[in-house]
Amino acid sequence: MSVSVEDALVHELRSAGCVFAEDEARLILAAASDRTNLVSMVQRRVSGVPLEHVLGWAEFCGLRIAVDAEVFVPRRRTEFLVDRAAALMREGAVVVDLCCGSGAVGIALAALIDSPELYAVDIDPAAVRCARRNMPAERVFEGDLYDPLPASLRGQVHVLVANAPYVPTEAIRLMPPEARLHEPRVSLDGGADGLHIQRRVAAGAQHWLGPGGHLLIETSESQATRTVQAFTDAGLSARVESSAELGATVVVGTRS
């Protein structure tokens, strides 16, 4: 009995340790333009390159987000950050996506809320190039957190969202190879306790949020108490929201 191309691909992917080999095989076969391209894609995946980098896109909140090589891959748990932010937004809201990576969070919010005024920032040039493929290029800024944002946004932002890096430096070596070897360290490394960038985001939020504006940051369950402290130190009221289904934790802060 002959073995189909898909069956052979499933076997190869499963042998390489891909847990969802059947799903991955179907996606790769659908994306490959010809046999040469197929062989190249499979080789990259078997060598440990994230599936999203192989395909050139990631599914997030029901959308296909372009994801270039060496750009952070949006996680499903971050859909909870989108959900919590969307609940606080209104039509025409001014939204800033900090540490935007591919721009997935901002793009998903724009798909849920009518006509948001959306801006995005990342310090990594590769991420900025990728985000500019996913949203209007003139609204994506390269630089350190708030530094490159237009001054006209000060005190005008309704919702600030940040999936800032929160992995402690020493814990990066324990991450799966797909992340540790193929995603930029700047998108993972949160400093000694994982909260260095979060504290900086919280500290600057008061200057950019309008009255009653909100800052939402994804964090881990174990770090949530310290993330809340960073918010309160910055003069924001704060609460923790979590999703057991997605294994996600978000701290929501509000400017009084």
Q: How confident is the model at residue 91 (pLDDT cuts 50, 70, 90)?
A: confident
The tens digit of pLDDT for each residue in 143-154 reads: 999 999 999 999
Q: For residues 117-138, give the mean pLDDT.
A: 97
Average pLDDT value over all residues in the chain: 94
pTM, two decimal places: 0.93
pLDDT value for 3: 57
- Residue 169 tokens read as 């430096």
